[in-house]
Structure 1
Amino acid sequence: MKRARGIVALRIPGVSARLTDDGDDQPTDEYIPGTLAIVEKATGVFIEWTPQGEDECGWVLADEDSGHTIPSLSPKPVDASSSSSLPSSGPLSPHSRLRFSVDVNDLSSFKNVEPKKGKKGHPCIRLIAKDGTNYVPLYFLTQSTKDFIDVLQRYVTLRRSAREHQLVLVVDEKAEALAQSLSTLDQNGDIMGRFMHNPYATAMTGLSKITTFVQDQVIPAILDSDAVSQEEKIRAMRELRTETDDTRLKISREADFEVVTQLELPPRPDIFRESPVTQAVWSSFKHSDGSFDQAKSHHMMMNVFRGGVETELRKEAWKYLLGYYEWSKTPAENEKKRAKLEKDYLRMKGQWTSISEDQESRFAKYVVRKALVEKDVARTDRTLKFFAGDDNPNLAMLHNVLMTYCMYDFDLGYVQGMSDFCSPLLYVMGNECDAFWCFVGFMQRVHANFEKDQTAIKVQLNQLRDLLMIVNPKLANYLESHDSDDMYFCFRWLIVWFKREFSFEDTCKLWEVLWTCQPCPNFLLLICAATLDRQTETIIENKFGLTEILKHVNDLSMHHDLDEMLTSAEAIFHQLSASQDKLPMHICEHLALGDKSVVGTPSGDEDDE
């Protein structure tokens, strides 16, 4: 028995990992059966999960009462000196990448989620390491998590968070005792006392120094999660911070300011999502000639905001929401406009398709943009059937739309991440011309996100920090004290509107909600604030720094609940709206509170020249 590399203190079969996969055009939840174990090894005690049918790494089952050991089916040992994915001694299954082993001493906490009374579901745990890594959620399909927690407590001290009942902390008793021996400050009051009116009014002046650095290094570092290491992402953001040191807040004591010492907000209201807008409901807002009743526009936009639109309706609705079709025009008038724009599209497409290789040799900027487009098209949403496989004509259409946009907007051209905005439009429209003009409408909203100086992104990050100071001063203060209040870990959320965080279907729903500009044009920031608000205790109680926060935030990808995020964000809006007479002026400006002109009236109704 000495040859065995591990003794199993606990082995629970029937514990399944859960995958979220949108490879079939629709999001599906797949449970991967496996075995969870707590294993004592020479190098430490490890929590391990192995997919069903794979070797269990030389485990030896221990019977505490009898002292006997029962060898497992696989005698082959594994070196578990690090808390990484385990190697396999045989052929790898498609789910082998989910297999993991983590030293209990590297564990920071775990989520222990029990299904709500009266609702279907299974108990679930999700391990969180000290470096911010979130392991795949594990579902206990045949039993509770009690046995796992009981055995784990033999090796580490556990404490349930007093603020988030689902969070169980792994306590370092020595550090805990030291922390309790130190006096604490009223951190919330401190940060609120330093919160000024319009604190970032002059913070953008130094951004002119940033030219291609953000486009060439920061954006790829944030978006290329598979190709770029976590350390490189941090390096890119640290370098951006160094480049923009002169954009940090410089608040003059003589400037006009408003000090917020304490702000009591009312409770957040309960918000409920509604069903998607149907064709019948959509048509009820039209006149007999097919144009939309402008007197009912706000009501219609609120319906879309509260539930999105049915999948079958998107091809028509998105054309209006993105300004391609005009709300006040009849279908015949919009079709006439479409015919004109189709000619414009073909004209611009012909401009780049007619460029010869000889011309390319003297057109460096065009060559660079073409290479970027080809690189991104080859890897954008390839798990979808619509874009899967080689020689897919839909990939050719995506390439054509993006290259033609370079002709439409010579100044911007193409920047990595723009394909993320284009692919859902092409998927829904199924037509190059329609997808292109919807893309033009979408880019009008997000154009500034891709500009070289990145002023727009910096403004949004500063606005998000401002909101967090009001909505969650505890987290805002923690981020500031841990050199993370620049909010760079939210960069990916903002630049591609959460495209990398949700399934393809949820992304479509989120975007059509945001296109309504309800209940305010900056609702995306409230979604960011709501997402961070839900992670407050996990971040603070695990003592995460910038590196760990970024890893934690990235690991949440595909594990967000869209409806929960939308209801939380809307609840925050109404909470702040009810307190707008107490809010600093710049917060009201961020959310357009008190601006009667912001009622979500559909845009894009401009007469043709």
Structure 2
Amino acid sequence: MKKELIFGSTELVYEQDEVYTLPASQEELSVSGKLRILEKRHGVVVEWRCSDDECSAESEWAVINTAAVTFTHHNISDSVEISTPRRYVRPICIELIDLRSYRIGDNTSLVLIQRDGTTHPALAFHSGSVHCFVDVLLRYVDVKKSEKDSNLYLIVDKKQNSTDEKLSALNLVPDRRGPGGWGGGGGPSGIPWGNAQQRVWGFFNNWKRDPYTTTVSTLSKFYDAVLYNGVDGYVRESDGEDDVAEIFHSLNGFEVLEPGYELLTKKGKLAERPDVDRLSPLTHDEFQQYIDDDGRILDVEPLQQRIFRGGIHPNLRRELWCYLLGHNQWNSTYMQREENKREKENLYFTMKQQWKTITLDQESRFSAFKERRSLIEKDVNRTDRNHPFFEGEHNPNVVLLHDILMTYVMYNFDLGYVQGMSDLLAPILYVTQNEPTAFWCFVGYMDMVYRNFDMDQSGMKQQLLDVHHLVQVVDPELMSYLEARESANFYFCFRWLLVRFKRELNYASTLRLWEVLWTGQPCPNFHLLVVVALLDTEKNTIMENKFGFTEILKHINDISCRIDLELTLKKAEAIYLQISKSNNVPDRVRALLGLPIQESAPSDPSQKDDDEPLRPQDSDGEDVSLTGGLVGVVSSMIGSAVRHLSGDDLTSVSLEAVPGGEDDEEKRFETALSHQFV
């Protein structure tokens, strides 16, 4: 493509019209724009701009193009579903040096990912081709296809790539082909070998930075392969001549130094993950099959399972949410529900009158009440104000949101109000559209999640620890990666758990997810499996781009409202079935998911605490650690020699990873809160 001088010293080298943003939700419309590659004085820039905003000076900072916003409100047979098409415009401008990777979807859409974790909206080419864009991009950078994700392409430096090719030509890693080999570039378990030279090169780089740790960690891999070659139940199983290739393959990830020391651990292989299907939402006619002539619901669990499998149709949601949230009893009759409604309405308005009659003089001596009122007033004025049910000045629904939260303060003054509660109430009020009903349903929801709002965050930290245990079992590879990047605390999942993914999904998906979670099916703490499923979906993007804690946090925020809920629910259920069918799952994980604890003979030496590594033994049954025995002596000798040559003090080194201090942990926790919620 011929270069064109468009202004100043900027040259246009690529331009494509009719490149549309793909809508991430029903509330968002597709927006047409121009995709360009520009050569500027300071470097090459990739940018996308909305076609309507080409001449607008303010478009650089626009989040929503208000001139293009349209509304079409409608109700469908007593449904409270409201369609609100909007045009969200977020201009894209990336210096090529900041571009880390890009993803080409099955529909040839393009997603640009920056080094800091920023993930931009998907772009679709209505004319032209994404491959033309890639061809121009290749003039400035080299691109390497991801080993694990066929749709992900990594941007690599041309000079570094040339060095890698020379290293690859040395054939340091054997290429096994033919019978018994891994022909076609595939490694064990179907893992390709395309980046073998990067593993070796990364090893050399890390040996220069920390010779001792790199040498000992690598030696431990050889130790594993040599002593446990062919022994069932241990992590690595190799066939003689393939040991070296297998060991070098295990060096993947050495681009960032492993901050610790590897001990042999018992392999925990899970059962195969099954495929699951979901159903369409429960309809009114289908629901009638579950109730008798007096209005009782007799078969509760089958109904809960049906709701879990497909959710609830919008015109039935208002009625069934009252059951799921405890406002109505499952076995109550029509008359009992009417009586219960009147009693709870009276109780609600009594409590509401209590706080409304507090005078300013009383409030001046009631500091806790005053602080909570002030916080509620601030939060309701920024809760879902872009949703048509709450938008606009002097909206009566915003007043109801305020009044219900104030009444909850009187109902539960010990807990009072904590930021995030308004996010949980807003969808309930939207569905029920009745003040007392919304209040009592909110009470039921808070009874489920009140630990999320502990003042010391103990409830949230426990859930993050539970996620840690689940990922440790389901995906040890991801866990090892996160530990190496000081991200195994899962603080980047804080907002997901606090408000049950409400800020990650569009409104329709939020309502569907919540009613699925409220069924309690198929296990307790299913929301934690939703977290694991989402991490599984984003795993390749995080690992292939080598994101650290800050980048992961940024990436997690950027996938907000771009989550495929049905795919995530399928994956979460499949993970549950996978764990439930596996025999070697730790008891704490089984208890977390309500699975029966497996009995084991106390004399079995392999049944040890999950946190205690399984140490290899010699022929006499004595422990052989990497700091003792022949291999330990060799390890110590090599380590001492290397550290002596590098000038480091041997006595200052510990074989165990040194964890970050409490101050560092608190800083990361506060960073997560500030980026994700506050």
Q: Is the 8 A contact 2:307 2:516 kept in 1?
A: yes
Given the alignment, which residue of 14, 32, 55 partners 1:10? 14
Given the alignment, which residue of 129, 144, 153 partners 1:159? 144
Assess, with a 3 A threshold, how the Cα gap between structure 1 residues 87 and 445 changes in structure 2: closer, same or farther.
Answer: closer
Assess, with a 3 A threshold, how the Cα gap between structure 1 residues 174 and 531 changes in structure 2: closer, same or farther.
Answer: farther
Q: Is the 8 A contact 1:260 1:584 kept in 2?
A: no
Counterpart in the other structure of 1:582: 584
Q: Classify the secondary structure of the residue corresponding to 1:535.
A: helix
Letter in 2 for 1:584: P
Counterpart in the other structure of 2:98: 106
Task: Find the aligned partners of 1:157 and 1:180 in 2 and give their Cα distance.
Answer: 20
Letter in 2 for 1:45: V
Assess, with a 3 A threshold, how the Cα gap between structure 1 residues 376 and 270 changes in structure 2: closer, same or farther.
Answer: same
Task: Find the aligned partners of 1:320 and 1:93 in 2 and give their Cα distance.
Answer: 42
Counterpart in the other structure of 2:327: 324
Counterpart in the other structure of 1:144: 129
Q: Is the 8 A contact 2:103 2:151 kept in 1?
A: yes
Identity of aligned residues (%): 41
Counterpart in the other structure of 2:211: none
CA offset digits 1:517-570 (Å, max 9, x no partner): 111111100000010011111111111111100000000000001101100111
Counterpart in the other structure of 2:435: 432
Assess, with a 3 A threshold, how the Cα gap between structure 1 residues 28 and 395 changes in structure 2: closer, same or farther.
Answer: closer
Given the alignment, which residue of 593, 596, 618 partners 1:594? 596
Per-residue deviation, 1:278: 0.6
Per-residue deviation, 1:96: 8.8
Given the alignment, which residue of 451, 454, 465 partners 2:454? 451
Q: Classify the secondary structure of the residue corresponding to 2:497.
A: helix
Counterpart in the other structure of 1:275: 280
Per-residue deviation, 1:179: 5.0
Q: Is the 8 A contact 1:349 1:404 kept in 2?
A: yes
Assess, with a 3 A threshold, how the Cα gap between structure 1 residues 594 and 357 changes in structure 2: closer, same or farther.
Answer: same
Relative to structure 2, which stretch is displaced further, 124-133 or 260-269?
260-269
Assess, with a 3 A threshold, how the Cα gap between structure 1 residues 595 and 473 changes in structure 2: closer, same or farther.
Answer: closer
Q: Classify the secondary structure of the residue corresponding to 2:528.
A: helix
Q: Classify the secondary structure of the residue corresponding to 1:385.
A: coil
Q: Is the 8 A contact 1:449 1:457 kept in 2?
A: yes
Letter in 2 for 1:578: K
Letter in 1 for 2:418: V
Counterpart in the other structure of 2:490: 487
CA offset digits 1:499-519 (Å, max 9, x no partner): 000011110000000000111
TM-score, structure 1 length as denominator? Answer: 0.76
Task: Find the aligned partners of 1:469 and 1:461 in 2 and give their Cα distance.
Answer: 12
4+ residue segments displaced more than 6 Å: none
Structure number, greater radius of gyration? 2
Q: Is the 8 A contact 1:85 1:101 kept in 2?
A: no
Alignment of 1:392-403 (within 5 A): 392-403=395-406
Given the alignment, which residue of 340, 344, 351 partners 1:341? 344
Counterpart in the other structure of 1:378: 381
Assess, with a 3 A threshold, how the Cα gap between structure 1 residues 594 and 387 changes in structure 2: closer, same or farther.
Answer: same
Assess, with a 3 A threshold, how the Cα gap between structure 1 residues 354 and 425 changes in structure 2: closer, same or farther.
Answer: same
CA offset digits 1:22-50 (Å, max 9, x no partner): xxxxx334111011011111111111111
Q: Classify the secondary structure of the residue corresponding to 1:30.
A: coil
Per-residue deviation, 1:136: 2.2
CA offset digits 1:469-520 (Å, max 9, x no partner): 1111111111111111100000000000000000111100000000001111
Higher relative contact order (CA 8 A, sep 6+): 1
Per-residue deviation, 1:53: 3.4
Task: Please say if 1:474 is aligned against 2:474.
Answer: no
Letter in 1 for 2:9: R
Task: Find the aligned partners of 1:182 and 1:379 in 2 and give their Cα distance.
Answer: 48
Counterpart in the other structure of 1:37: 36
Q: Classify the secondary structure of the residue corresponding to 2:418.
A: coil
Alignment of 1:538-577 (within 5 A): 538-577=541-580
Per-residue deviation, 1:3: 5.7
Alignment size in residue pairs: 488
Per-residue deviation, 1:328: 1.2
Q: Is the 8 A contact 2:50 2:89 kept in 1?
A: no
Assess, with a 3 A threshold, how the Cα gap between structure 1 residues 561 and 180 changes in structure 2: closer, same or farther.
Answer: same
Q: Classify the secondary structure of the residue corresponding to 2:501.
A: coil
Assess, with a 3 A threshold, how the Cα gap between structure 1 residues 86 and 432 changes in structure 2: closer, same or farther.
Answer: closer
Letter in 1 for 2:384: D
* Gaps in structure 1 of 5+ consecutive residues: 22-26, 58-77, 79-83, 116-122, 195-258, 597-609
Counterpart in the other structure of 1:69: none
CA offset digits 1:569-589 (Å, max 9, x no partner): 11111111110x211111101
Q: Is the 8 A contact 2:534 2:568 kept in 1?
A: yes
Given the alignment, which residue of 348, 355, 367 partners 2:358? 355
CA offset digits 1:55-110 (Å, max 9, x no partner): 389xxxxxxxxxxxxxxxxxxxx9xxxxx98479xx99667951221111100111
Letter in 2 for 1:495: L
Letter in 1 for 2:545: N
CA offset digits 1:255-290 (Å, max 9, x no partner): xxxx96112222211111110001111121112211
CA offset digits 1:163-199 (Å, max 9, x no partner): 0111111123566746532448599x99x999xxxxx
Counterpart in the other structure of 1:52: 51
Q: Is the 8 A contact 2:28 2:88 kept in 1?
A: no
* Gaps in structure 2 of 5+ consecutive residues: 69-86, 165-197, 204-216, 226-232, 236-263, 599-678
Task: Find the aligned partners of 2:53 and 2:459 in 1 and give their Cα distance.
Answer: 49
Counterpart in the other structure of 2:201: 181
Counterpart in the other structure of 2:538: 535
CA offset digits 1:189-247 (Å, max 9, x no partner): 99x999xxxxxxxxxxxxxxxxxxxxxxxxxxxxxxxxxxxxxxxxxxxxxxxxxxxxx
Q: Is the 8 A contact 2:143 2:154 kept in 1?
A: yes
Given the alignment, which residue of 154, 164, 172 partners 1:169? 154
Letter in 1 for 2:8: A
Task: Find the aligned partners of 1:372 and 1:396 in 2 and give their Cα distance.
Answer: 14
Assess, with a 3 A threshold, how the Cα gap between structure 1 residues 193 and 460 changes in structure 2: closer, same or farther.
Answer: farther
Q: Is the 8 A contact 1:51 1:96 kept in 2?
A: no
Assess, with a 3 A threshold, how the Cα gap between structure 1 residues 2 and 142 changes in structure 2: closer, same or farther.
Answer: closer
Assess, with a 3 A threshold, how the Cα gap between structure 1 residues 339 and 103 changes in structure 2: closer, same or farther.
Answer: same
Letter in 2 for 1:554: N
Q: Classify the secondary structure of the residue corresponding to 1:50.
A: strand
Per-residue deviation, 1:18: 3.1
Q: Is the 8 A contact 2:482 2:488 kept in 1?
A: yes
Task: Find the aligned partners of 1:277 and 1:289 in 2 and give their Cα distance.
Answer: 21
Per-residue deviation, 1:4: 2.9
Counterpart in the other structure of 2:114: 129
Letter in 1 for 2:410: M
CA offset digits 1:315-351 (Å, max 9, x no partner): 1000000011001111211221121111111111011
Q: Classify the secondary structure of the residue corresponding to 1:427.
A: helix
Task: Please say if 1:365 is aligned against 2:368.
Answer: yes
Letter in 2 for 1:476: M
Counterpart in the other structure of 1:602: none
Letter in 1 for 2:149: E
